[in-house]
Amino acid sequence: MKKCILVTGAQGLVASRFIELYKQREYLLTPDLTEFDFLKPTQMEKYLKDEEISQVLNFAAFTDVAAGESQRGDKEGMCWKINVDGVRNLVKMFDRKRVRFIHISTDMVFSGSDADPGPYEENRKVKDNPDTLTWYGYSKARGEEVVQDYFKKPTVVRIIYPVRAKFTFKTDFLRNPLRLYQQRKLYPLFDDQYLSITDIDELSGMLNKLLENDNAGVFHCTSTDITTPYEIINYLIEAKYGVKNKVKRISVSKFLKNNDNRLRYPIYGGLKAVDTQKQLNVRFSSWKQIVDKLIAQNITP
């Protein structure tokens, strides 16, 4: 029996690209939700019964931030049940000492507030107060804890606004504004909200390295610099279509003054990955370099 790598959330935006790029796909187990549901432990046990799992790549998550906010405080809601209870169900399927577990998490485990601004390094302490995070971010932070408490050598990989050139089933941080621009529906974008982005192709290369060695701990995959939604989409549209200054700007600070949920749009976000690059001997790109690469790949809304 060959040892396999279980990939959860295999049909999603990020995992599906990892699978496309992975050279030894015959070693990957990629169940869909009908076969492997976090909320159905008996079903998971049945799926894994005759498999020898050496490593797990957990991409699966509830990622709709807005929908998560509508469930704030509800631990019976799907956001909490998938990102916390579901992760707990998943880890219990494996021997904590023998199976390597790589858990994909998010920058939103940090507040992005002026009291605790980013960009955040790998060793920055995760927030444990739900009043400082989105409900999605809080659930992902607790999911990280579940993994770190269970496994002997856990690995957590945080990403931020993952992007790729093409994906039929879902847009992303760059392709959605492109779609809206084509439809002449692009709204003004924040010029004072700071963030970075994750190139899914670079993430895939980084995950290959993690699968090949025994590095444990927390790692970040992110552009090497920060930007704003206004700046990056303005650059993208000019690079893609050759037209300048087609994006209108708006202040997130002013926007939030009239918004009941001030946590929904972290202002001072972004991740740093200096330690990750040193430990894994990888080099990430700047946000402009990522955009240029996606343009070369003919990025499609």
User: What are 139-148's pLDDT values in tens digits?
Assistant: 999 999 999 9
Could you give the CA distance from residue 134 to residue 248 in angstroms, rounded to a whole number?
27
**Distance separating alpha carbons of residues 138 and 78, to the nearest angstrom:** 13
- SS3 percent helix, strand, coil of the chain, rounded to 5, is 40, 15, 45
Query: Which parts of the chain sit beneath pLDDT 70?
Result: 1-2, 260-263
CB-CB neighbours of 192 under 10 Å: 16
Query: Beta-strand (E) ranges in the chain?
Result: 3-8, 28-29, 52-58, 100-106, 155-159, 162-163, 189-190, 198-199, 217-221, 249-250
99 half-sphere exposure, CB direction, 13 A CA radius:
24
Q: Look at residues 55, 57, 59, 58 and name the one whose alpha carbon lies nearest to residue 98.
A: 55
Amino acid at 257: K
Distance from C-alpha of 11 to C-alpha of 87, rounded to nearest angstrom: 18
Q: Please name the residue that has the structure tokens 């700046």.
A: 231
Q: Of 8, 16, 6, give the one whose Cα is nearest residue 172.
A: 16
Instruction: Output the pLDDT for position 163.
Output: 98
- Residue 90 identity (one-letter amino acid): L
Region of 2 on the Ramachandran plot (φ > 0 left; ψ -120 to 50 alpha; else beta): beta
Chain segment 62-111, per-residue pLDDT in tens = 999 999 999 999 999 999 999 999 999 999 999 999 999 999 999 999 99
Q: Are β-strands 189-190 and 249-250 bridged in parallel, bridged antiparallel, or unpaired?
A: parallel
| Predicted pLDDT at 187 | 95
Q: How far is CA 128 from CA 65, 109, 133, in A?
A: 18, 9, 9
Q: How far apart are CA 125 and CA 133, in angstroms?
A: 13
Question: What domains appear along the chain, each with residue ranges and CATH number?
Answer: 3-166+197-226+270-285 (3.40.50.720)
Three-state SS string over 120-150 comes to ECCCCCCCCCHHHCCHHHHHHHHHHHHHHHH
Q: Residue 253: its pLDDT value, please?
A: 85
Distance between CA atoms of 226 and 209, rounded to whole angstroms?
A: 25
Rounded to two decimals, the pTM is: 0.96
